[in-house]
Amino acid sequence: MTVPRSGKLPPRYRFALNPFPEVRWARCPRCDKLMHARKFPLLIAWLDGTMLVLGKTCRYCTPCEFIIAHQHEVEEEIAVFRHARPGRAEGEYLWSGR
């Protein structure tokens, strides 16, 4: 399955959402080295054209350039955005880590 992307440049980082709130990653699942916290801008785009940029602290593996964000934390911030802007940002959305 191909992931839809915007733009023509190749992705800079590998990105994953952690759907399990009880699991925290201390080591990279790819290379088994320690991951550290780093803040990244996450772009969330809805199919209706609405966009939201979150400055989110995620787990990051420097050698693999791999980012892991916790889905439940991001969706809490999306819920706040949706509450502040009723009628906007409805339906499915796409994730993009820059």
pLDDT in tens, 13-32: 999 999 998 988 899 999 99
With a CB cutoff of 8 Å and minimum separation 6, the contacts of 5 are 11, 96
The number of helix segments (H) and strand segments (E) in the chain equals 1, 5
With a CB cutoff of 8 Å and minimum separation 6, the contacts of 52 are 43, 44, 78, 81, 89
pTM: 0.78
| Residue 74 DSSP class | H
Which tens digit of pLDDT belongs to each residue from 21-73?
A: 898 889 999 999 999 999 999 988 877 778 889 999 999 999 999 999 999 99
pLDDT at 98: 42
